[in-house]
Amino acid sequence: MRSEPMAPTLQMTLMPAMLLLQGAAALAPAAVPMQSHAVSAASAASRCAAPCMGEALVKLGTRGSPLALAQAYETKRRLALAFPDELADDSAVEIKIIKTTGDMVLDKALKDVGGKGLFTKELDVQLLNGDVDICVHSMKDVPTWLVPGTILPCNLEREDTRDAWISPKGTSPMDLPAGSVIGTASLRRQAQLLARNPGLKCVNFRGNVQTRLRKLEEGVVDGTLLARAGLKRMDMTEHITTVLEFDEMLPAVAQGAIGIQCREGDARIINYLAALNHEPTKVAVDCERAFLAALDGNCRTPIAGQARIVDGELLFQGLVAKPDGSVIYETSRAGRPEDAVKLGTEAGEELRAKCGSMEDFFLGEEIAPEPASSMSGKATDGLGGYSD
């Protein structure tokens, strides 16, 4: 069978992203109260229907990490290519960094500070208030529910969705001896690792890609896993030891996909985004997110799911697991792409029935705190440095 081709390498220029990153602290917005969703979205759409003279035609909101900025600049590049007469000038699309709670609280596991909405709430506020016109997201960070008054009509063509194993001590997590320490903030990864190698110890490991790689070099952990898509987008694939196949590590729902959110009813912006949407990617992501929604999944739950179109047929596989990997339930579906949401929902409902009480099923081994550096002997502060 022939599968849809992988997205071509995203050729991004990271220098402007890094320069913008340096000014992130100065650009971080003050807290803005969330207005009534309907009133806020309507008034924002009205204000932004025709930008004032001197204003950017599109204001793009993004988190400030190097990966988030790379994705923002890629979106800006694609808008310029799709609308050269309007958006080719560098000033036509303005990138605005928005700090999120998830970016500022790095010394705790995601499940302990509220889950994935931590990476989107502040962006939602700015979008509804009209301070930005679009928000660019890594889709795996976007909750299955969207704030009323906003829509997510666009997915860029998806990258390779597989997880990358990075370690100086073994070509696979299966090669490492009992007691080896794996850095990951993901219960999904922990559960699948422990199911195949119960002797491993998983510890919390957060921060941007560069921070995690630096801590790996310092011996804080013996190995870690990152999405191959993010490494590819930042031209950092040389760090990969092995790319793990789906039967070794099923990726997260929506992994490798970039989504672009806008206000409902903003016809000008919706027209721009329609030109960027990659329909096969959107079909797959919609299926996966329907699966996650049926399970009421979030960062507190070890859930994985992947959909792809092969020879015109939509194929889906998903799993749920106990955090310690002692129990894994798997499912699969095949059907028409137009039935993507139905297929994902049915798959999620099947596994939900097998799990029984979801709260009880997901009780189990937690990810341990991050250990001290074997080089400095100091505990990390979660921000790439070390506490005293």
Q: Kindly report the three-state secondary structure assignment for every residue of 320-385.
A: EECCCCCCEEEEEEEECHHHHHHHHHHHHHHHHHHHCCHHHHCCCCCCECCCECCCCCCEECCCCC
- Give the E-state strand segments of the chain in sequence order: 58-62, 93-97, 134-138, 150-155, 163-166, 181-183, 201-203, 223-227, 242-243, 258-263, 303-310, 313-321, 328-335
Alpha helical stretches, state H, 83-221: 84-87, 101-104, 121-128, 187-196, 209-217
pLDDT tens-digit profile, the chain (388 residues) = 444 444 444 444 444 444 444 444 333 333 333 344 444 455 555 554 556 656 899 999 999 988 999 999 999 999 999 999 999 999 999 999 998 765 444 444 444 444 556 568 889 999 999 999 999 999 988 988 899 999 999 999 999 999 999 999 999 999 999 999 999 989 999 999 999 999 999 998 877 888 899 999 999 999 999 999 999 999 999 999 999 999 999 999 999 999 999 999 999 999 999 999 999 999 999 999 999 999 987 656 899 999 999 999 999 999 999 999 999 999 999 999 999 999 999 999 999 999 987 777 877 666 666 665 443 444 433 333 333 3
Q: Quick check: helix, strand or coil at residue 191?
A: helix
* pLDDT the model gives residue 371: 64
Instruction: Give the type of residue at 274.
Output: A
* pLDDT the model gives residue 145: 87
Residue 338, C-beta contacts closer than 8 angstroms, at least 6 positions apart: none
Q: Quick check: helix, strand or coil at residue 65?
A: coil
Helices (H) and strands (E) in the chain, counts: 14, 13
C-alpha 63/C-alpha 117 separation (Å) is: 13
**pTM for the model:** 0.78
Question: Do the bridges between strand 201-203 and strand 181-183 make them parallel or antiparallel, or are there none, so unpaired?
Answer: parallel
Q: Which residue's structure tokens are 């099947």?
A: 350
Question: Do the bridges between strand 93-97 and strand 258-263 make them parallel or antiparallel, or are there none, so unpaired?
Answer: unpaired
Q: Quick check: helix, strand or coil at residue 207?
A: coil
* CA-closest candidate to residue 161, choices 246, 67, 78: 246
**Which one of the listed residues 103, 141, 163, 266 is annotated catalytic?**
141
C-alpha 331/C-alpha 334 separation (Å) is: 11
Residue 212, C-beta contacts closer than 8 angstroms, at least 6 positions apart: 183, 205, 206, 224, 226
Domain with CATH 3.40.190.10 in the chain: 53-157+257-277, 163-243
* pLDDT the model gives residue 7: 46
141 is known as an active-site residue: yes
* pLDDT the model gives residue 360: 78
* pLDDT the model gives residue 117: 62
* pLDDT the model gives residue 364: 65
Q: What's the CATH number of domain 163-243, 3.40.50.2000, 2.60.40.10, 3.40.50.300, 3.40.190.10?
A: 3.40.190.10
- Domain 53-157+257-277 in this protein, CATH class: alpha beta
